[in-house]
Amino acid sequence: MLKYIRLTFLMIMISLASPVFGQFSIGAFAGLNSSKLKGDAPDKAKYKTLMGANVGLVLDLNLNKTLVLSLQPSYSQEGTKLSYTLPGYEEPIDSASVRLNYFSLPLLLKVQSTNQRFYALAGIETGFLMDSFVKSHDEKEDLNVDIAQVNVAIQFGAGYRIPIKQSLLFIELRYTQGLVNLTDDLGDNTYIPRVKTTGLKIFVGYEIPLTRSKN
């Protein structure tokens, strides 16, 4: 895990130290996470998607006409629902939800089309756990397992920009997949045994170029 963190911060330092090589844009975004956990599940349970908020800032550095390096510090609500198979019920019952809230630092590389409207993206997200809890029957309680304080995930997706005078509105869809286990507990009395994060993110955002391109 440490090598992923070092790589992320190295790329952040490069992006912040290189303003002379391209045009900067700043902005903000808001959207939704459709997340769940993947891996070992408690006995007679399975994981289902849980919706959460995702808000943050955007700092884009245009490396050239095609490539953009994007740093996006954000607050991300992730987690999962737990659906249990209970005696007397034909369908599994949603009995609990696990919430994991992160301060995230996605560092992404965007590849733009020739008109710079459509783009594909991929990169690494490093998430620092802010808090975690399980909610069951409208009551919150602590998770009975140690959770990794740092999560590393890969992200890839696509986006589309809509020019509005000197600014840009963008819509973006991403898939994210955790690379490390959040826990290594294989006990039967925990809500989340050995698991990784996964999910979809959809955003709407607004960007303002700080300098105009000479081209």
Q: What is the pLDDT of residues 79-129, one digit of tens each?
A: 998 887 765 555 556 678 899 999 999 999 999 998 889 999 999 999 999
Closest by Cα among 149, 132, 129, 15 to 72: 15
Residue 57 above 50 pLDDT? yes
What is the per-residue pLDDT for 215? 42
Q: What residues have CB less than 8 Å from 215, skipping those under 6 apart? A: 65
Residue 42 or 27, more confident: 27
pLDDT at res. 1: 53
Residue 52 has pLDDT above 60, yes or no: yes
Nearest to 75, CA basis, from 100, 48, 103, 98: 103
Tokens 């696990």 label which residue?
98
Per-residue pLDDT at 211: 65
Which pLDDT does position 136 carry in this prediction? 80
pLDDT for res 20 = 45
**Whole-number pLDDT of residue 150:** 94
* Owner of token pair 């943050």: 56
- Quick: pLDDT tens for 148-207: 999 999 999 999 999 998 899 999 999 999 999 998 766 555 778 889 999 999 999 999
15 pLDDT above the threshold of 60: no
Structural domains for the chain: 2-209 (2.40.160.20)
Strands (E), the chain: 24-39, 45-48, 50-62, 67-71, 74-84, 93-112, 118-136, 139-141, 150-164, 167-178, 195-209
Q: What pLDDT sits at residue 187?
A: 58
For the entire predicted model, the pTM comes to: 0.82
Stretch 142-148: mean pLDDT: 82
Give pLDDT, residue 78: 95
Q: pLDDT-based confidence at 14, cuts 50/70/90?
A: low
Q: What is the residue type of 138?
A: D
**Lowest-confidence pick of 6-10, 128-132, 192-196:** 6-10
Determine the pLDDT at residue 89: 58
* pLDDT of the residue at 213: 46
Residue 31: Cβ within 10 Å count: 20
Q: Check residue 40 and give its pLDDT.
A: 84
